[in-house]
Amino acid sequence: MKQTRKDLRFIDFCSGIGAGRLGLELLGLNCVAHSEINIDSDYTYQIFFNDNRNLGDLTLLDYDCIPESDILIAGFPCQTFSIVGKRAGFEDERGQIIYYLKDILEHKNIPYFILENVKGLINHNNGRSLNSIIKLLNNSGYEVAYKVLNSIDYGVPQLRERVYFVGIRKDLYTKPFEFPKPIKHKKIKDFLLSCNQDILDVNNQTFQKYLSNKYNKNRINIDEILGQEYTIIDTRQSDLRVYIDKCPTLRTGRHGILYVRNKKLHKLSGLESLLLQGFPKKYVMKAMNLTNSKLLAQTGNAMTVSVIRAIGENLVNYIEEDTKNEFSQKRISNC
């Protein structure tokens, strides 16, 4: 019987709010389980997918009870490699998650994987951390390709550079994996909601003090900015940065992104952040009642749906083109 994309099963590890899952589901793939330890993130995940198959803490799993799958996807913890954090790397227990993922790949003999992390992983510890990860996965039986991709090159107007890894089990490897080519992104206004009336008063004393600090004084003309529709403003800890038709990287710990509409400064909302991460509007509608601050934090820690979809498309094409490959016929374990 001919295999279809629905026969391709995947498990969503370190799932967050499910951006990686959604990217693959939009291709027709079948999610058989997920793993997330953050209660708030999993609550949002349930709203999006109504799926109670959370395996829980992957460091405590009985590997025999993990469902059989063809693809493992994981945005494994990035705080230990990020320039925003202390860059502790493998010295931080969160940096050890890659070893658990490696063990799962080996024990379940999973054919393919997609992993995501921050760009800072590339040069962390002078590149030794990256080399350690590649060697670890190579020794586990996988040919690994990696590349830094920017979300703005895959349909959404967000400057978000992340490193992506694609692994192919060596017995299934026929040629190098090719990452998707960039496409043109849509206009920023298409990702901003007309219903957002969370407006910042430019005469607010705190904001005016911010504009006149030593980093911004005589550098920022707020009247000029207000005259440029859909200009994006990033109110960083010290200096203010201005973007035209694109948004800076959404981050968990920094929510001070504003945009101009009708000569007023609107605060970027959690719902708009979902759109900028590639979530379709029907998912945004499901999140209408979620706390804005939590949603901003969760989207800042998520993958970009459109990037995963593009990578997934190339991986599925790779699988479908490989006439030697047969999808796993094993059934999900009954534990």
Could you tell me if 163 and 119 are in contact, meaning their C-beta atoms sit under 8 angstroms apart?
Answer: yes
CATH number of the domain where residue 159 is located = 3.40.50.150
In a domain, 328, yes or no: no
Residues 60-116 have pLDDT tens digits of 999 999 999 999 999 987 555 444 445 444 455 444 889 999 999 999 999 999 999
Residues 249 and 136 in one domain: no
- Told to judge if 78 belongs to the known catalytic residues of this protein, a careful annotator would answer yes
**Total-model pTM:** 0.91
Residues 14 and 146 in one domain: yes
Tell me how far the alpha carbon of residue 127 is from its chain's centroid. Answer: 22
> Distance between CA atoms of 38 and 45, rounded to whole angstroms?
10
In a domain, 151, yes or no: yes
154 CB neighbour count, 10 Å cutoff: 24
3-state helix, strand, coil in the chain (%, to 5): 40, 20, 40
In a domain, 52, yes or no: yes
Residues 145 and 287 in one domain: no
Residue 298 — left, alpha, or beta (φ > 0 → left; ψ -120 to 50 → alpha)? alpha
Residues 144 and 286 in one domain: no
In a domain, 24, yes or no: yes
In a domain, 232, yes or no: yes
Residues 216 and 76 in one domain: no
Residues 19 and 134 in one domain: yes
> Distance between CA atoms of 118 and 77, rounded to whole angstroms?
9
Residues 290 and 240 in one domain: yes
Residues 65 and 105 in one domain: yes
Looking at the structure of the chain, the number of domains it has is: 2
pLDDT score for 2: 55
Residues 104 and 118 in one domain: yes
**Residue of 78, 195, 247, 335 marked active site:** 78
> Distance between CA atoms of 81 and 83, rounded to whole angstroms?
7
User: Which pair of structure tokens corresponds to residue 327?
Assistant: 């999808």
Give the orientation angle of helix 128-139 with respect to helix 97-108, to 10 degrees: 20
User: Who wins on pLDDT, 142 or 79?
Assistant: 142
Domain that holds residue 172: 5-184+303-321
Residues 118 and 154 in one domain: yes
Residues 175 and 192 in one domain: no
Residues 23-69 have pLDDT tens digits of 999 999 999 999 999 999 999 999 999 998 999 999 999 999 999 99
Residues 199 and 276 in one domain: yes
Strands of the sheet containing 264-267, edge to edge, are 199-200, 264-267, 257-261, 231-235, 240-244
